[in-house]
Amino acid sequence: MKKHILTLIFAALFCVSNAYATKEFEDLAEIEGVDYIYISKAMLKNVSEVSILDGFDLGHITSSLSSLEILECDLCDTQKDLNKIRKTITKFASNMELLTKAKEEGTTVYIYSRSDKGNMTDLLIVEDEETEVYVIYIKGDIDEKAIKGLSIF
């Protein structure tokens, strides 16, 4: 019985942590000048038949994802808003592993991930410029080889 209760508690915590990301990004979308897009698992499955280039299988990447979130702040009115976004994203990424950090000409790109039992389950990409912030958050069963293949574009 105790084992079942613990399993239920962990499952509930997992569901809450999954909803937390969307809530955080949705809250940031309330800031003037922030654009936010959430794409659900059902919608991502519809993308599985889309091909943007001959021989490029987008479905291979999207079919196993739970969600995709994009946050863009390129028209924020104040530095205070940008700092709030940066602080929220930094806090969100604090329980993820930093894979890459690259700086070039005033732009910093961070790539974070989270894995479960050796499989990548979360990928967070942040591009931070002086007056703009772009965030892509991918959740689900992430095929690392397929994601790396996107870098040719």
Amino acid at the residue 107:
T
Residue 13 lies in a domain: no
**What would the mean pLDDT of 64-91 be, rounded to a whole number?**
84
Residue 9 lies in a domain: no
- What is the per-residue pLDDT for 61? 62
Question: Based on the structure, what is the number of domains in the chain?
Answer: 1
pTM above threshold 0.85: no
Residue 122 lies in a domain: yes
pLDDT in tens, 24-70: 888 888 888 888 888 888 777 766 555 444 444 555 566 677 888 88
Distance separating alpha carbons of residues 15 and 6, to the nearest angstrom:
14
Residue 3 lies in a domain: no
- Beta strands (DSSP E) in 53-130 are 65-73, 97-104, 107-116, 119-128
Residue 16 lies in a domain: no
- Counting Cβ atoms within 10 Å, is residue 45 exposed (0-12), middle (13-18) or buried (19+)? middle
Residue 85 lies in a domain: yes
Amino acid at the residue 58:
L
Find the range with the poorest average confidence among 4-13, 35-44, 90-99, 144-153: 4-13
Structure tokens at 139: 């959740």
- What is the per-residue pLDDT for 90? 92
Residue 78 structural domain:
21-152
Residue 6 lies in a domain: no
Residue 89 lies in a domain: yes
- What is the per-residue pLDDT for 13? 40
